[in-house]
Amino acid sequence: MTDLTIGQESTGAAVRSASDLYRAVWRWHFYAGLLVLPFMITLAITGALYLFRDEIDAVVYSNLKQVEIREGLAKATPSAMVAAALTAHPGTAVKFTDPASPSVSAEITVSTETAGKLAVYVDPYSGKVLGSLPDRGTIMWTIRYLHSLKYFGWFTRAVIEIAGGWSILLVGTGIYLWWPRRQSGGVLSIRGTPKRRVFWRDIHAVTGVFAGFFIVFLAITGMPWSGVWGAKVNEWANGNNFGYPAGVRIAAPMSDEHLDHVAKTSWSLEQAQVPQSPGHQHGTAPIGLDEAVAAFDRLGLHRGYAVNIPTTPTGVYTGSVYPDDLSQQRVVHLDQYSGKPLLDMSYSDYGPLGKWLEWGINVHMGQEFGLVNQIVLLAACIAIVALAVSAGVMWWKRRPAGSLGVPPLPSDRRAFRALVAILVAGGILFPLVGLSLVIMLALDWGYFKLARQRST
């Protein structure tokens, strides 16, 4: 958002046309910022914190999650740890999470009648209960829910989709406004002092041109979690509803349950059906948790995998793990009577679009490239906050007294045609964004009519 200088040197048609297009883009850049920047600040702050979720949780809950390594000491069996958790918190054990490293505790999820689901932490060496928290009750789960706006109702998933689409519009219009036009600074350098508006303009422009790529990337890779676009693309990318990716064949009876309702899973498997254990038809005794965990170990699941414990005669042991290395993502369902794998699936089994989206999600969450991934996205989050702050200061210094300070309309309304065509294309790709664009066009028209009536 720069001072409007284009068109002052000449009254030629070409210059007027450029000036009108600049005004139109500037006006919609302002609207996009007005809608998106409050969300972007929230998403940037919570996202920056969530990048370091494991590190933060390990410090905050060190008494629960960290244990002393005791070399040569036999570890307690999974069933013994579950029994200790149930003694401390009576209920039904529904999940056992294998320690991801020798210094980490085991986690048993217990469903209780009075306290709901609890995450009970057990020392794997001594089998002693270290304490408990509400399931998904850590600080980082709170940050994750704030990041997704889950605390504020179902409609916020639609808001996230709209904000993502407008963020892309914000970047596109911002690049047009930043594009060099014979100015001596403000392209890659910053002029003036904080007292001057040009200083904040340059901070905004220079930061934006570097952060724009990350804003678009984070917006697109965040779309799979949205309510409308994400759900539809999930079906399209992963086959029919309740399906598995191409190449995976299942010869076991299937339940009507979603995998996402049973175990924390990847985006590509949210709609997958959970198979049933056929062994119950033959009066066979269940294998038990210890043998199921031994089977998962033999199959080579990455350490830190979670085992969902069957609670019905037809249920299965589901082992799932989603480490930083995408190639190690895996879901295995075991017949609870024979211990035979009914389904064994990994990242390599996903379809092409599913693989690309999972890769994008993994990078989005700061996992794919380790510490470098975390630091780069942390810098992007800081830049996004800087963009929002500089935009606010710049608007405050520019706005006329008693006015919202909406950038002026172009003298020739035809300048909007190319811009509207781009908006329509984006609206077709992202329906909720398109609906919001129509609403904003109507509001802008109404604002223009009201302003013109006041001036007459």
pLDDT on residue 456: 63
Instruction: Using the structure block, give the residue that is written with the tokens 């990716």.
Output: 245
Residues (pLDDT < 70) of the chain are 1-18, 154, 184-185, 227, 234-251, 279-283, 402-403, 412-416, 418-419, 422-423, 447-448, 451-452, 454-456
pLDDT at position 264 is 74
**Between helices 13-50 and 139-147, what is the axis angle to 10°?**
160
Which helix (H) or strand (E) segment is 207 a member of?
A: helix 197-222
pLDDT, one tens digit per residue, over 227-238 is 677 777 766 665
Q: Indicate the Cα dihedral angle 413, 416, 418, 424, nearest 10°.
A: -140
Burial of 323 (0-12, 13-18, 19+ CB in 10 A): middle
Residue whose tokens read 């049933």: 276
Give the helix/strand (H/E) hosting 165. helix 156-178
Q: Tell me the C-alpha to C-alpha distance, in Å, between residue 439 and each of 36, 302, 400, 445.
A: 15, 49, 25, 10
pTM to 2 decimals? 0.85
Within 10 angstroms of residue 426's Cβ, the number of other Cβ atoms is 17
Residue 415 contacts residue 13 (beta carbons within 8 Å): no
Domains of the chain and any CATH numbers: 13-51+148-226+371-455 (no CATH), 62-137 (3.10.450.40), 239-350 (no CATH)
Q: Say what the pLDDT of residue 4 is.
A: 40
For 217, half-sphere exposure in the C-beta direction (CA atoms, 13 angstrom radius) is 19
| End-to-end Cα separation, the chain, in angstroms | 29
The DSSP call for residue 309 is: P
What is the tens place of the pLDDT at every residue in 414-432?
666 766 776 677 777 777 7
Tokens 């600074």 sit at which residue? 185
